[in-house]
Structure 1
Amino acid sequence: MQIQRSSINFIERPFLEPLHSAFGTIPKFESIILSLESGAGTGRAEVTNTLFPDLDFPALALTLEQQIIPLLANRSVSDTESLRKLLGKWSRNPVIYALAEMAWFDLQAAEKGVPLVKVLGGEPVSQQVFTSIDEPPLDEDGYPEANKFLDQVRNFYDSGYVHLEFKVRPGWDIAVIRAVRQENPDSSFHLDFEGALGVTNYDTLFQLRDFFPFMMEQPFPADELVEDASFQGMLTCALCLDESVTSPGIVAAALKLGSAKTVKINPMRAGGFEKAKEILALCREAGVDCWISSPLSTGVGARSNLAFSSLEGFSGPFEYYDLSRFFTPEHLEGLELPPVLTLDEEKTLRIE
């Protein structure tokens, strides 16, 4: 397959409200989209700071522009092995390689005139979605506005969502989840800790466990697989790994330890579609459920993740974000890149 041209689009947009995470505050959205073009079409892949909040995006954009784009222009790439050889030392950078590999798979789909899902080995289906709700902005006294959070929860359930994710961290935990469960006794939700807790927080975890979350996601830092295994043994629900899922080797170790009953896979974080497929195969063999991890992105990243979620082995709903929640109409322009994902009244997306 001949790549005639390659380019990047570095996107920066302010959020309506800064995003809060266990890694700190994210004041603006940063995204880099790599495009590979042939005579038959264009393949794209995206990396965002909602997935890698510690990554220096201006530096990455400069590296891609100066080092990677020249390597990919006017080159024939027949398979991923030839792509690795073409990238040379840069193939050892998991983000750079994943961008190139995922864009190359998308270009294959464009050349063949088929959906990306077909190239990846999946089938077009309709996928139920969930969305995530974070800690609300602080009031004038410096405290999170819990009532606004509960209003959001109520509105999402009332609008048809059957499952929600709540971000939880020290200080924003027991009281608010208790209130959610009291108001929604039969509703499904899971808790995402983003690795913010440690062994000193076991009492908090046990109290949250008693509110019957569907699962508890990444309670401990990414490298604490032994601690995960210990805590999973104390749970009736699943412990889910997300930030830990960076390579097949790490996941193999987690499965051997019994660190989780559910694994969230993000192809970009895993190092590309092929590495993500290896992880999916390991989990299927071990009988571990898989969900797709799909943080806030433009339509490019969401479409890649949605296509990958069609593969056999995924059991959970798709992680979906309505961009109008996070940006003004002015700053939303250019983010809903084609093909635009449209959510129907039953909160499902069509995977094409």
Structure 2
Amino acid sequence: MEDSIFDRLFELLQTPGPVNWRLAGEVIKSVAGTPEPIEPAVSEEYSELTLAAELLVADVPGLAVPSAAPLHPVDRNTWAKENTQSFRYLLEPLAMKLSGDAGMSPMAALGPALLGMQAGSMVGFMSQRSLGQFDAGLPALDHADRYLIVPNVEAFAYENNLESHQVRMWAVIREVVHHAILDRDWYRGALIRAVENFFAGLEFDPSGMQDMLGSMQDPTALEGMLEGPDAVANLLGMKSDPQRLGQLQAIIAMTEGFGDYVVARAAKETLPQLDQLAEAAARRRAEPHQGAELLQQLAGLDLQRHRARDAADFCDEVVRRWGDEALDTVWETPENLPTVEELTDPVGWAARVLLDPLDPTNS
């Protein structure tokens, strides 16, 4: 039996590719739990809520809602399996960076397995807490469809003493809104470029890892080396570029904050508990959890998700001062997105984006 276990482990570790997705799938199985089929009546309710949500969101200026994408109400296990590789846009640039850097020879063997374990753990823990595709900071990009994890939606309602039907409607509206943001022509490419740009700016000092691996007597000690929010970054001696990280933080903050702003406008006449829902969501976003910690472990990637509140306030202020059309300008090109600093300085953003430098009346 012992030999077969090691044979199985050896087979998993030999899987080719920059990220060992086969190992990731095995880790997910151990974290995401057993399948819990969703009742047909529940699926039907979510279908009806999706139609209603699309109508509500369509009434908010500046956001076109693609109605062709279905919404799948699923259990944790199904979501995790469906999204095993949905964060490859995050992991594969890191893998290529690791394999391409000089002096990183230990990573030729360890890197794909290390990232596979991280990917599997991250997606598995996300399945225990996320509500949908856009609930972990960085969105899951592998599917054109929309997903909600039904047990987590119900748990959110129960834990916050909220009415279940309102929470379901709110969760569906959020998923519709964020999917509409992702559907913009340039958004997906801009997000991926921001991720790739961040990893391109990473620097490594693998000497510490080489020393630890050289002195490691017990293979199980690798698990201890991976504990803590900055474990992988420390293990590989990673240093990130604050400016590149800020660019990624800004696009994530604007995605979440604009989503909150649109949800509030779309649902204000429909959900009596909207204020309580928003407060509970803000608390939840600020709470540390294993999925977010694993994201941070990847090169010390701290998304600073609390900035979403700044972004929502930015949206309110832009509309108050200059109207809906001014806020629409944010989404015309990636260059129009506010920087991290501009999230709390809408006037500065307006001076950069809204004023025509060729118009003599603005001089």
- TM-score of Structure 1 vs Structure 2, range by shorter chain: under 0.3
Larger Rg: 2
Q: Which has the higher strand share?
A: 1
Normalised to the residue count of structure 2, the TM-score between the two structures is 0.25
Q: Which has the higher helix share?
A: 2
